[in-house]
Structure 1
Amino acid sequence: MAMTKKLDKDRPAWPLTISPEKVCFFILKARQFDAKDAPTNEGSASNPSDDAMIDVLEDRADDPVQEEIRSAIWALSVDEQIDLVTLVWLGRGDGIASDWRDIREAAAEAHNNRTAAYLLGTPLLGDYLEEALSMFDESCQAMEANHL
């Protein structure tokens, strides 16, 4: 069910098929994923407690944060996936809030079964989503306060 939020007269209503809470979840997880660094010693057989758990900060193929994001994207409806991509495009500067319908239409045309890979490969994913939310007067501050 789509929720419509009426914004000020200079901004259009935003028909949400994805809740702001879900978008905030992706922002938080994307930031965890973006904080990862390239593996430094892939051949190491050391114990995690011996190396101060530094491997947790390295980007690995079996990264649980990446898998969590991928699974969450796959669990979204097609409309929610399209909205998520549209928000990324808005946040990276491909338009303004009043361009929502046109950008969403382009995202719908581009939609395929590789949405998770596309979004995970997008640098600054969390920043783009946060910027887009702010265009619609939404924020993740309450959710961040409850989870951090």
Structure 2
Amino acid sequence: MTPEISTRKVVHIIFQARNPSRKNEARQFIDALNDDEKAHLVAVAWVGRGAFEPEDYAEALATAYSEATTPTADYLMGMPHLSENLEAGLEALDIDVSDAEEDFYDR
């Protein structure tokens, strides 16, 4: 199963979460995502954190939907190492981020 959130959006959040002065922007960006994108973002972070294996992505996604009791931005921004977890999750899911990173760096 492939995450139903654009790689570019995930990379955007990674870069914002790494920069302390842009944490509020990251929170606003996450808040603006639709519910499906939010659930997929959480599932990617969980895979990156090791809470789920890549082959269990569907289970991670189902859990993200069922356990969404707090605002996603609050949950994710409170997660230690969010950017690293997202990066590791994309890598574990064999998602190539090179084009998205180049777009971000070209700004």
- TM-score, with length taken from structure 1: 0.65
Separation in 2 of the partners of 1:147 and 1:105?
30
- The reply to whether residue 144 of structure 1 matches residue 101 of structure 2 is yes
**Larger of the two Rg values belongs to structure:** 1
Which of 44, 59, 65 in structure 2 is aligned with 1:87? 44
Contact 1:85/1:107 (<8 A) preserved = yes
Structure 1, unmatched stretches of 5+, are: 1-12, 34-62
- TM-score, with length taken from structure 2: 0.87
Alignment-derived partner of residue 96 in structure 1? 53
Question: Structure 1 vs Structure 2: percent identity of aligned residues?
Answer: 32
- The reply to whether residue 23 of structure 1 matches residue 10 of structure 2 is yes
Q: Quick one: higher RCO (CA 8 Å, sep 6+), 1 or 2?
A: 2
| The structure with more helix, counted as a fraction of residues | 2
Alignment RMSD, CA only?
1.6
Separation in 1 of the partners of 2:31 and 2:102?
27
- The reply to whether residue 130 of structure 1 matches residue 103 of structure 2 is no
User: Number of residue pairs matched?
Assistant: 105
Structure 1 consecutive aligned stretches of length 4 or more whose deviation exceeds 4 Å: none
Alignment-derived partner of residue 49 in structure 1? none
Contact 1:130/1:139 (<8 A) preserved = no
Return the offset for 1:142: 3.2
Contact 2:48/2:84 (<8 A) preserved = yes
